[in-house]
Amino acid sequence: MIQLKGLTKRYGTFTAVDAINLDVPHGQLFGFLGPNGAGKTTTLRMIAGILRPTAGTVHINGIDVAKDPTAAKAVLGYIPDRPFIYEKLTGAEFLRFVAGLYGQDGPVIERRMTELLTLFDLLEWRDELVESYSHGMRQKLIISSAFLHKPKVIVVDEPMVGLDPKAARILKDLFREYTKRGHTIMMSTHTLEVAETVCDRVAIIQGGRIRAAGTMDELYESVGAGAKGLEELFLRLTGENAARELVEVLDA
């Protein structure tokens, strides 16, 4: 469960995230959408406890991230959009290293590593250095590392970027099955099809503020009749007029 109350991040006089209130209950797959620069990554980094809010609170399964960061991080898996990864470790060493951060090792972790690497077609690469991995392979390794200790809550920033169609499908199925088992996932994405097909609820953020939140049906209802497809719904909710801007660029 993730609870945000008045969550705010300012950089000088600029407000990147503006007093967000959001509840993501147990067992929900929650999509976080918004245009470039809307505040998605900033929000997710505050939830993960790696960026200090200017104001407001984050609770993960009832634990205040600011007051008890170690306890909060123990139940959390975070998949950043631009992950840092040690190039000189093999895939297996990297996963063991991450498991160690959560105080876990031994046969259970080894078995889970094998399961996750098999799922993502990486098993034969387990003993190769990460520096030889492609972008998509690194992404799959990072995703595997977040699932290793079976965290109650996963926060994931743009997980589909760089994945081939098979891996994207596997990841969507993994997210769905994981939340069906009572875990919570909050995911930012620009892939509207992913939001529509797998998320239980979504929120749309723009200019640091939540513009709309609910199920896809509720969002369609909120804009009234006539929104054809998710792309148009998104553009209406964020007040963007891509077609007009395109004509202005071409005619300038």
Q: Which is nearer to ligand ATP, 11 or 84 (CB)?
A: 11
Backbone angles phi, psi at 7, to 5 degrees: -65, 125
> What would the two tokens of residue 157 be?
């920033």
Residue 229 touches ligand ATP, criterion: CB under 6 A:
no
Residue 199 touches ligand ATP, criterion: CB under 6 A:
no
> What would the two tokens of residue 144 be?
């595997």
Q: Which is nearer to ligand ATP, 39 or 91 (CB)?
A: 39
Contacts of 141 (CB under 8 A, 6+ apart): 85, 91, 94, 95, 120, 122, 130, 133
Residue 24 touches ligand ATP, criterion: CB under 6 A:
no
Q: Strands across the sheet with 29-33, in order?
A: 76-79, 153-157, 184-188, 29-33, 201-206, 209-214
Residue 39 touches ligand ATP, criterion: CB under 6 A:
yes
Residue 139 touches ligand ATP, criterion: CB under 6 A:
no
Measured from the CB of residue 154, what is the shortest distance to ligand ATP in angstroms? 17
Residue 40 touches ligand ATP, criterion: CB under 6 A:
yes
Contacts of 111 (CB under 8 A, 6+ apart): none
Q: C-alpha 245: how far from its chain's center?
A: 29
Binding mask 2-21 for ligand ATP (x = CB under 6 A): ---------x----x-----
Measured from the CB of residue 43, what is the shortest distance to ligand ATP in angstroms? 7
Instruction: State the Rg of the chain over Cα.
Output: 19
The single residue among 28, 41, 191, 238 that binds ligand ATP, judged by CB under 6 A, is 41
Measured from the CB of residue 209, what is the shortest distance to ligand ATP in angstroms? 12
Site for ligand ATP in 162-181 (CB under 6 A): none
> What would the two tokens of residue 155 be?
């926060």
The single residue among 30, 31, 34, 195 that binds ligand ATP, judged by CB under 6 A, is 34
Alpha carbon distances (Å) from 90 to 121, 133, 155, 165: 15, 10, 25, 25
Measured from the CB of residue 165, what is the shortest distance to ligand ATP in angstroms? 22
Report H helices in the chain.
40-47, 69-74, 91-101, 107-119, 135-147, 165-180, 192-198, 216-223, 229-237, 242-251
Among residues 154, 135, 138, 234, which one has the least CA distance to residue 191?
Answer: 234
Residue 213 touches ligand ATP, criterion: CB under 6 A:
no
Judged by CB under 6 A, the stretch of 38-46, 69-77, 96-104, 133-141 that binds ligand ATP is 38-46
Measured from the CB of residue 118, what is the shortest distance to ligand ATP in angstroms? 31
Total interface residues for ligand ATP by CB under 6 A: 10
Which residues in this chain contact ligand ATP in the complex, by CB under 6 A?
A: 11, 16, 34, 36-42
